[in-house]
Amino acid sequence: MKISEIMVTVLKNVFHIENAKEYVEKLFQFVKFGIVGLSNTVISYVVYLLFYSLGVNYIVASALGFLISVINSFFWNNKYVFKKENSEKRNLLNVFLKTFAAYAGTGLILSNILLIIWVEVLGIPKTIAPIISLLITIPLNFILNKFWAFNEK
């Protein structure tokens, strides 16, 4: 028996939740998004540190990390997290552009505004500041991806 089936059974029989399967599916989707997000974070941060250590301006290094992580995010979210249903028609260019816009709003614009605040105003080290920004941008990214970028309705 799969863990998802066990969770559904427990939710139905112990907690008397009728649509338990839907809750479990949404939970697993969020966990998958978190895994993809973790890989994006690692990729973005490694690219940021690499370019920053090579003498590239920290804002430019952040933008380069963003660009590479958006491509990673689109690929895995499309393939693994927000899978296309059999009957669903998905325009990949449209989804990519929406994904890019969603991440641009949170991962590039908002993240860099926060980065400037953390570094220039609050004096937080340039190597730590991007991590703090994630506490704000990750939840926003999930909402934008789930309900806008990968929602063709």
- Tens-digit pLDDT profile for residues 99-153: 888 888 887 788 889 999 999 999 999 889 988 988 888 788 888 888 888 876 6
Domain count, the chain: 1
pLDDT digits (tens, 9 = 90+) for 79-97: 888 877 777 777 888 888 9
Comparing 57 with 22, which gets the higher pLDDT?
57
Q: Is the pLDDT of residue 47 over 80?
A: yes
Q: What is the pLDDT of residue 51?
A: 96
Average pLDDT over residues 32-39: 88
In a domain, residue 21? The reply is no
Q: What is the pLDDT of residue 153?
A: 65
In a domain, residue 1? The reply is no
Q: What is the pLDDT of residue 152?
A: 63
Dihedral class, residue 16 (left if φ above 0, else alpha if ψ from -120 to 50, else beta): left
Contact indicator for 45, 51 with CB cutoff of 8 Å: no
Task: Return the closest-CA partner of residue 100 out of 136, 61, 150.
Answer: 150
In a domain, residue 16? The reply is no
In a domain, residue 30? The reply is no
- Number of Cβ within 10 Å of residue 83's Cβ equals 14
The domain in which residue 45 lies consists of 35-149
Q: What is the pLDDT of residue 142?
A: 81
